Homo-oligomer: A and B are copies of this chain.
Amino acid sequence: MSDISPVEGFEAYPTRPGFIRHNGGFFLHCERPVIGARITEEHLNPLRIAHGGFLATLADTSFGAVLRRQYDLPVAPVTVNLNIDYLGAVREGDWVEVYVTVHKFGRTVINASCELKVGDRLALRAHGNFMVWTGEIPAVK
């Protein structure tokens, strides 16, 4: 499936069986706080553009992946609140990149925002509040 290959500098973000793997997986930039994904037919809505739910998934996972690596956490933090502004369409075949910025890593709440771009074009902005997971982590089946 050549159309889901990443661009240079990215590598596959490891996932357990579940929602992300079922939807094609994402790519994490080796150094920068950026997640990439290639849009396939399985991500589309009836207007033949990327489904808002898929883009929300990409934003949410980007926050988790970046926070996890940046703060050396065993699992992604729990999302308390996620707010998404949809600013433009994303189409099949597009390579999208999500740029994450962490604004505050507080004692109780983590605050971060991201921009989802296709090339230079801004297609989505999201921000959210998160909490470090302090419960048990299930073993991989």
Cα–Cα, bound, A46→B136 (Å): 11
Residues of B within 8 A of A86 (CB): 78-82
Return the CB mask of A34-45 against B: 1 if under 8 Å, else 0: 000000011111
Closest chain-B Cβ to A69's Cβ sits at a distance in Å of: 14
A88–B50 Cα distance when bound, in Å, is: 27
Give the chain B neighbours of A122 by CB distance below 8 A. 103-104
What chain B residues lie within 8 Å of A46 (beta carbons)?
Answer: 15-16, 18, 75-76, 137-138
In the complex, A138 Cα to B54 Cα: how many Å? Answer: 19
- A43 / chain B contacts, CB cutoff of 8 Å: 18-19
Point out the residue from B61, B84, B127 that lies within 8 Å of A125, measured CB to CB. Answer: B127
Among A53, A111, A113, A129, max chain B CB count under 10 A is at A53
Is A20 located at the chain interface by the 8 A CB criterion? yes
A86–B76 alpha-carbon span in the complex (Å): 15
Given A17-B41, A47-B138 in contact, is the A106-B87 Cβ separation under 8 Å?
yes
Q: What residue in chain B is nearest A21 (Cβ atoms)? A: B42
Chosen A-B contacts, 30 in total, with CB atoms closer than 8 Å, are A17-B41, A18-B41, A18-B43, A18-B44, A18-B46, A19-B44, A19-B54, A46-B137, A47-B137, A48-B138, A52-B56, A52-B60, A53-B54, A53-B56, A53-B57, A53-B61, A56-B57, A56-B60, A78-B86, A79-B84, A79-B86, A80-B129, A81-B84, A82-B83, A82-B86, A85-B103, A87-B106, A103-B125, A108-B108, A111-B125
